[in-house]
Structure 1
Amino acid sequence: MVCDEPAGRDGPVAGDGARPKDDAALRSPVKQRRDHARSATWTRRLAVTALVLAALNLRPVVTSLGPVLEEARAALGMSGTIAGLLTSVPAVCFALVGSAAPRLARRFGPDGVVFAGMAAVALGLAVRPFVGTTPVFLTLSGLALAGIAVANVLLPVVVKQRFPDKVGMMTGLYSMALNLGASAAAAVTVPLAGAFGGDWRAGLGAWAVLAAVAVPPWAALARDGRRQAAHQAGHQAAHQAGHQAGHQAGQRTGREATPGAERAARGDAPAEAGTAVRVARSPVAWALALFFGLQSSSAYVIIGWLPQIFRDAGLSAETAGLLFAVTSVLGVPLSFLLAAVAGRLRNQSGIAVLLGAFGLAGYAGVWAAPAAAPWLWAVLLGVANCAFPLVLTMIAMRGRDGATVIRLSAFAQSVGYLLSVPGPILVGALYQHTGGWHGPLALVVCLMTAQTAAGYFAGRDRQV
């Protein structure tokens, strides 16, 4: 009895206790993989939501002001010169502030910088309608534009990092949202003001709500980015510690690793190669910057002058407005489709040339007979305007890694926006000097030809 009792107790207890532990050990990796998959799915959905919300806020700062500019000028005592300056401030701000985005991204991470940018947009939009002086109004507009500028540069980077296998589709998605936000702000600001008793300040400030909605998703994405960076840093530290131990062992056995082997062991050879790249010396980067700048210049000409061209041809103001709306609305579906197709191709030169052909045909029609087939000219120019999502897709695909895409995006957009400033101004000066549109449109045709050539070189299968 005494001998049997320990055997009986130990046998069943030990056996029953060991089995659950073994099962738990077997289930643990499976559960970890399942949890990791759920977390990755949640993060990707969060990133999609954040991208779309950010894109919706990239243009209302500019396009919501135009419909109520007359009321804003009267309330603030804004001169015509200052009002004209407002049309060029966005491009200059995008160029100057966007150039700082790479340094900010290296310090705070792309997600964190876009989060701060969205907060700046919300603050600027919320406060600027309720100030009483022009300088403060301009300052708050500049704050919102600064937030947009860093987001402009870094959204292609976020796409590259978060969706490396779906660059074209995700670029198309947020380009579509960008066009939708721009069109909605232009169309809805006046009705919003009417809903608040005709108060232009309320109609303008209402867009701060949309910007505020974008802040929490980017805050969550920034936390996830910091968590991933900390995990990666810990992994690299452990890897480096293992390498150092192996290196010391090699020294003890008389075998010393070569510097190239050491870099390969650390896995940072590509990163070193990437940091050695001087983006400003790359022909691909300059082709992208020229293509970006020339397509922006064409877009600003269409936004600023196309309705006037149609009105000078004898069409009514209402019809001219509808024709301009066609060029904007076409960008909503075409931006998504075009970027999705471009992202599947290694070479996008053919698409750039095709868009240039649409633009040349549209401008030629407007030059020869603007009132003969205005709807056709508007459709052709609307298709040509879709060069914007194409160049964003190109930027994300031309960089070898995320760090290079940050520098490439900052360079192409900063230089490109600066190049885009003179075009609309020269068109207006020629129009004022000649009293007609043949001279200005001839200039735009030359710019479109240069855009087509730059797009051909930017679209080739080359990487920086």
Structure 2
Amino acid sequence: MENVRSSSRPALWLMLGIMFIALNLRPSMAAVGPLLTAIRGDIPLSFTLASLLTMLPVMAMGLAMFVGLGVSQRLGEQRTVVLSLLIIGLATVSRLFVDSAAELILSAVLAGIGIALIQALMPVLIKSRFSDNAALCMGLYVTSIMGGAALAASFAPLLMTRTGSWRLGLAGWALLTVPALLFWCAQRAGMPTQPARSSSNRSFFRNPRAWLLAIFFGLGTASYTCVLAWLAPYYVETGWSEQDAGLLLGFLTAMEVLSGLLTPALASRSRDRRWVLGVLLVLIMAGFCGLILSPHHLSLLWPCLLGLGIGGLFPMSLIVSLDHLDDPRRAGSLTAFVQGIGYLIAGLSPLVAGMIRDQFAGFDWAWWTLTAVMALMLLMVWRFNPLHYSRHFD
């Protein structure tokens, strides 16, 4: 019994370390939307240009995914995480000194690179260290990502109000990297080292199933990035204060956290994830329709539906990718490919929505477009039959 406890303790500390790290992976983006009105009052930004603050880091995440596993194999898991957290922290704290749109966008891109290096590594680490509970641990990891977004969206306006500076409202989230670094460095000595193996995601470029998974992940993440970028400005335009709009976005991300915890646990009862994915997509469609048709009535219901749908869809898209391969390294390479292509797709959604806003003076057509995208994804879901996974990879 004592041996079981001692062997499980390092795994518990590792999972807690992963969760602390994951809290740092969204505040640099999530804090922007609620503060956008204040930022635009100080730095000239059109909605199209402002969309780059979300689009470019997401695109950087996509591109960096293709080198992330290679970096971790050269530096090792420990050093890669430390380097990535330092990049995120420095990029975030640099916003104290930005005076132009270009500097603000550069800080967002640097943060995106640091985020990508961690997100390329984590599925491999989770699949290899928690093979018996990979779905649940992936859910905890993704939930922590969304928890960081919830904190930033909810409290960035309050931080700005208390300090009188939107720059502090953006830069203060660099403090989250401190406990993550301390926790990671303190517990890493007890982690077993994994043998390095060559791993490449190039082999997936000619695989139709890998592309289907990547497109599915990208379209689903497009709804997340678009809501993250534009939900708060959408409500500010309708008369809400920045703080109330930020709290609404925080409520949505809290629903994402709840769904990210519950959905993988429920889905783990069966290897067939299609019914879960279908329900999540219907929830997202209902949320977007509510935003368009009745934004001021039942105003908490629509973000609730969106949060429950998006919060479950993000981890489930990665879990379905991991399900396709049993070998942790190959599964990790597949998820790196899926995220790399997927984030390049998802990064376009804030830009397209910003262009739609500038063209039509409103976000309704952006929400309608995302509703149609979710309907298309419903058709894609039924191709994820686990009985046929082995056919798609040699």
Normalised by the length of structure 2, the TM-score is 0.84
- Residue 337 of structure 1: aligned partner: 262
Cα distance in 2 between the residues matched to 1:78 and 1:219: 41
Deviations 1:400-456 (A, max 9, x none): 222112211211111111112333433444454455666444322221112223333
Deviations 1:331-376 (A, max 9, x none): 1211111122223421111111111122223333444444454443
- The counterpart of 2:351, out of the listed 401, 418, 425, is 425
Are the counterparts in 2 of residues 291 and 458 from structure 1 also a CA contact under 8 Å? no
Cα distance in 1 between the residues matched to 2:37 and 2:248: 22
Cα distance in 1 between the residues matched to 2:58 and 2:201: 30
- Residue 241 of structure 1: aligned partner: none
Map of 1:64-83 to 2, 5 A cutoff?
A: 64-69=31-36, 71-72=38-39, 77=43, 79-80=45-46, 82-83=49-50
Between structure 1 and structure 2, the one with the greater Rg is 1
Cα distance in 1 between the residues matched to 2:359 and 2:107: 35
- Residue 323 of structure 2: aligned partner: 397
Distance 1:405 1:367, change over 3 A: same
Aligned-pair distance for 1:186? 1.6
Are the counterparts in 1 of residues 55 and 348 from structure 2 also a CA contact under 8 Å? no
Are the counterparts in 2 of residues 117 and 151 from structure 1 also a CA contact under 8 Å? yes
Cα distance in 2 between the residues matched to 1:39 and 1:125: 38
1:297 paired to 2:246 = no
Cα distance in 1 between the residues matched to 2:159 and 2:202: 49
Are the counterparts in 2 of residues 111 and 221 from structure 1 also a CA contact under 8 Å? no
1:99 paired to 2:71 = no
Aligned-pair distance for 1:111? 4.0
- The counterpart of 2:153, out of the listed 170, 182, 186, is 186
Cα distance in 1 between the residues matched to 2:252 and 2:298: 14
Aligned residue identity for 2:255 = L
Q: Which runs of 5 or more structure 1 residues have no equivalent in the other structure?
A: 1-32, 234-270
Are the counterparts in 1 of residues 34 and 245 from structure 2 also a CA contact under 8 Å? no
Distance 1:65 1:302, change over 3 A: closer
Distance 1:144 1:222, change over 3 A: farther
Distance 1:284 1:219, change over 3 A: farther
Distance 1:378 1:85, change over 3 A: closer
Distance 1:115 1:343, change over 3 A: farther
- The counterpart of 2:172, out of the listed 180, 183, 206, is 206
Cα distance in 2 between the residues matched to 1:191 and 1:375: 20
Q: Which runs of 5 or more structure 2 residues have no equivalent in the other structure?
A: none
Larger RCO (CA within 8 A; separation ≥ 6) = 2
Distance 1:217 1:455, change over 3 A: farther
Aligned-pair distance for 1:200? 3.6
Residue aligned with 1:100, SS: helix
Cα distance in 1 between the residues matched to 2:274 and 2:331: 19
- Residue 18 of structure 1: aligned partner: none
Distance 1:107 1:192, change over 3 A: same
Cα distance in 2 between the residues matched to 1:315 and 1:71: 15
Are the counterparts in 1 of residues 88 and 114 from structure 2 also a CA contact under 8 Å? yes
Cα distance in 2 between the residues matched to 1:391 and 1:199: 38
- The counterpart of 1:385, out of the listed 310, 317, 324, is 310
Cα distance in 2 between the residues matched to 1:283 and 1:124: 37
Cα distance in 2 between the residues matched to 1:311 and 1:79: 16
Deviations 1:114-135 (A, max 9, x none): 2321122122223342355655
Aligned-pair distance for 1:311? 6.9
Deviations 1:124-156 (A, max 9, x none): 223342355655554443332211111122212
- Residue 455 of structure 1: aligned partner: 381
- Residue 362 of structure 1: aligned partner: 287
1:409 paired to 2:335 = yes
Instruction: Output the aligned Cα RMSD.
Output: 3.3
Map of 1:219-234 to 2, 5 A cutoff?
A: 219=185, 228-229=193-194
Distance 1:92 1:216, change over 3 A: same
Cα distance in 1 between the residues matched to 2:20 and 2:285: 33
Are the counterparts in 2 of residues 129 and 201 from structure 1 also a CA contact under 8 Å? yes
Are the counterparts in 2 of residues 293 and 416 from structure 1 also a CA contact under 8 Å? yes
Map of 1:34-433 to 2, 5 A cutoff?
A: 40-69=7-36, 71-72=38-39, 77=43, 79-80=45-46, 82-130=49-97, 135-195=102-162, 197-219=163-185, 228-229=193-194, 278-307=203-232, 316=240, 323-386=248-311, 387-433=313-359
Deviations 1:91-112 (A, max 9, x none): 1111111211121123233443
Deviations 1:222-257 (A, max 9, x none): 5555x634xx69xxxxxxxxxxxxxxxxxxxxxxxx
Cα distance in 2 between the residues matched to 1:82 and 1:279: 34
